[in-house]
Every structure is written in structure tokens, then in C-alpha cells.
């Protein structure tokens, strides 16, 4: 059975070791189709050039991204501050009695959180859950290669626990490279014997870092993906991994021990080269007895919940994230 076959199966498999895999129907508006076309011909080449840029240009781009204007945070205040010894953006007011969305941002391990995309999404999710959000400002490659980013994400989680936030009140999420860090962090939490979060939401995670040409969706969808240029992926990952063993489960979570993880909700697009990164790991976590959902949405770009202001069709996925997280928080409280 191929990953493409898997995503068309029943959302309620008879085998409890199979993940809930759903291929969503979606009607895309003409305006959204035009935006996808522009993204493919404008943004994808720009990203490709960025990831091949010289170090001075890359550092300049990091500054430009971090200084972007913040998007609509639905009335929640945003402050860059230290949580314990962990710096980052706090959305809303952190409290030990309210849920906290700990979001690990993407950006290919070399870009900081994008205020125009990451902060609005985390704000909406935090508001729906009646809590706050924290986006740790982890160190970036190539200045700080693996494991610096993962070390910082671990510190952020411990800082929330030290603040008095129970693990079962934490919703862990991450997009793209941040989705990779989600699974690295879960392994660290398990190894240290810390309380697990209520759930985890990996959005378009990269889970295989040793083979730029596989999983299969990387070559099958390389021409269709409107955002990610496959030709730049190997060089980008090298900036983060450098001389490390790419089979290390903290680098390639596809090969991790999946036992004991909290409930998982994978989200990816059937139009992105990283689709199978989600599908294959979702199958492994379900086989290990972890409650797993893997929802695949058509047409939309990589990490599309970040682009809900650009693509109205992505808002349904954001709503689904909130529903899932609320159910897991309620279950943990019960």
C-alpha cells in the first residue's frame, strides 16, 4: 500500500493500529487558485534563492523576517519576553490555570518566526482554547546547528512547567521544521520522565532528513508544490545537520520509538512535497498505539494553516485544530 492509497481510506479504520487518515474534499475559489499560481511562480523561486544565499544575505533575511509587521492577533496582546530563561513571543497572558499553546515555528531551521503568519494563527488557536500562546525564539542554523534549536525547545517546555503550567494543559504544535522539532521534543520529554503535553499538532512536518529524494511525494509532487523547491532542500538541511548522523531519531523522527506519545493530529496538503513525511510517521505512531489523526487537504500549500488570511479555505483546518486540542484538554482534565 502506498501513501497515496492510504489517504483515501476510511476515516475510522477497523484496525486500531491504523491512523485516522482523511482526504478532505475542498472547493477552491478562483481567487485562491490565482494566489496559488502567483505563489508558485513568485514565492517558490524566492525561497529557493534564499536557501542558496550566502551567509551575509541569509543573516539579513533573518532580520527582515523577524521585523515583519504582526498580523491580526484577534485582540490578544503580543509581547517578546523571557519565560524563565527561554525568549520568545507570548500571545495573551500566561497562567498556570489556563491552557498554553507551545508552538515551534518553521522556517527551514534558518528563519525566525514570521510575525505576519505565526502570531495570528497561534493567537486564534489560543483564543479558541481560552488560553495563551508561546513561540520560543530558538537558535537558528547555520550559526547554531543541531541540536541547538531542539535544546532551546526543550528549555521552553521546562520553563512552562516551572511556571506552574501542568503538562496536560499544554498543547504542543509546530509547522514544517517546527513539526520536526515537535517530535524531537517529545522524545526528550519521554526520556527525561517529564509530564507529556495534552496533545501535539504537527503541521506539514519534515520527518526524514537523510534522503532528499524520498519519501515518494518529494519527487512525485515536486512540480506541483506551490511553495517548496525540492532542489534547495538538501543544501538547506545541510546547514542544520552539518556532520551529524541523519538517521538520529531527533533529526529524522520517522525512525523514532513512537511509544508513549500523546494524541497526535497531523495536517498536510496533498499538493506538497512533504505530504508523505506526515503519512508515513502517522502510520508508525498508530502502530505504536498512539491515538493518531492524519488529515490531508488538497490544493493548498505547505503549512497552509499559516496562510488562513490568504486562503479562506484554510480556516476550516484551523478550526479543526482547535476542536481537536479542546477535546484533548478536556480529556486530560477529566
Sign of the CA dihedral with 169 first, then 163, 122, and 8 last:
negative
Beta carbons of 120 and 314 less than 8 angstroms apart: no
Q: Is 272 a catalytic residue?
A: yes
Cα separation, 77 vs 96, in Å, equals 18
For Cα atoms 171, 308, 64, give the angle at the middle one, nearest 5 degrees: 90
Task: Name the region of 25 (left: φ>0; alpha: ψ -120 to 50; beta: rest).
Answer: beta
Q: Is 295 a catalytic residue?
A: no
Q: Is 176 a catalytic residue?
A: yes
Catalytic residue among 24, 105, 118, 302: 302
Task: Name the region of 253 (left: φ>0; alpha: ψ -120 to 50; beta: rest).
Answer: alpha
Catalytic residue among 32, 126, 176, 269: 176
**127 CB-side CA count, 13 A:** 15
Cα separation, 107 vs 137, in Å, equals 12
Residue 37: how many other CB atoms lie within 10 Å: 11
Q: Which residues are catalytic?
A: 176, 272, 302
Amino acid at each position: 500500500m502506498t501513501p497515496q492509497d492510504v489517504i483515501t481510506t476510511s476515516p475510522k479504520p477497523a484496525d486500531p493500529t491504523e491512523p485516522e487518515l482523511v482526504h478532505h474534499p475542498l472547493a477552491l475559489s478562483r481567487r485562491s487558485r490565482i494566489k496559488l499560481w502567483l505563489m508558485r511562480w513568485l514565492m517558490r523561486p524566492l525561497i529557493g534563492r534564499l536557501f542558496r544565499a550566502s551567509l551575509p544575505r541569509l543573516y539579513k533575511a533573518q532580520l527582515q523576517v523577524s521585523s515583519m509587521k504582526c498580523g491580526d492577533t484577534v485582540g490578544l496582546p503580543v509581547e517578546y519576553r523571557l519565560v524563565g530563561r527561554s525568549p520568545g513571543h507570548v500571545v495573551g497572558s500566561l497562567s498556570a490555570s489556563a491552557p498554553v499553546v507551545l508552538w515551534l515555528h518553521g522556517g527551514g531551521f534558518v528563519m525566525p518566526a514570521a510575525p505576519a503568519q505565526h502570531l495570528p494563527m497561534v493567537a486564534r488557536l489560543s483564543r479558541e482554547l481560552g488560553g495563551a500562546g508561546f513561540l520560543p525564539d530558538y537558535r537558528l542554523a547555520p550559526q547554531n546547528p543541531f541540536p541547538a534549536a531542539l535544546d532551546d525547545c526543550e528549555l521552553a517546555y521546562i520553563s512552562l512547567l516551572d511556571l506552574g503550567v501542568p503538562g496536560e494543559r499544554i498543547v504542543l504544535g509546530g509547522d514544517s521544521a517546527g513539526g520536526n522539532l515537535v517530535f524531537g521534543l517529545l522524545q526528550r520529554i519521554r526520556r527525561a520522565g517529564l509530564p507529556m503535553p495534552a496533545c501535539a499538532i504537527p503541521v506539514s512536518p519534515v520527518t526524514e532528513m537523510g534522503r532528499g529524494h524520498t519519501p515518494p511525494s518529494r519527487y512525485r509532487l515536486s512540480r506541483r508544490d506551490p511553495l517548496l523547491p525540492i532542489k534547495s532542500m538538501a543544501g538547506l538541511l545541510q546547514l542544520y545537520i552539518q556532520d551529524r548522523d541523519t538517521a538520529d531519531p531527533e533529526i529524522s523522527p520517522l525512525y523514532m520509538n513512537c511509544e508513549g506519545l500523546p494524541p497526535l493530529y497531523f495536517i498536510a496538503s496533498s499538493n506538497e512535497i512533504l505530504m508523505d513525511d506526515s503519512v508515513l510517521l502517522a502510520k508508525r505512531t498508530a502502530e505504536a498505539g498512539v491515538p493518531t489523526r492524519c488529515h490531508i487537504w488538497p490544493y493548498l500549500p505547505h503549512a497552509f494553516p499559516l496562510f488562513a488570511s490568504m486562503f479562506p479555505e484554510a480556516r476550516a483546518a484551523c478550526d479543526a485544530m482547535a476542536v481537536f486540542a479542546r477535546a484533548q484538554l478536556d480529556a486530560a482534565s477529566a
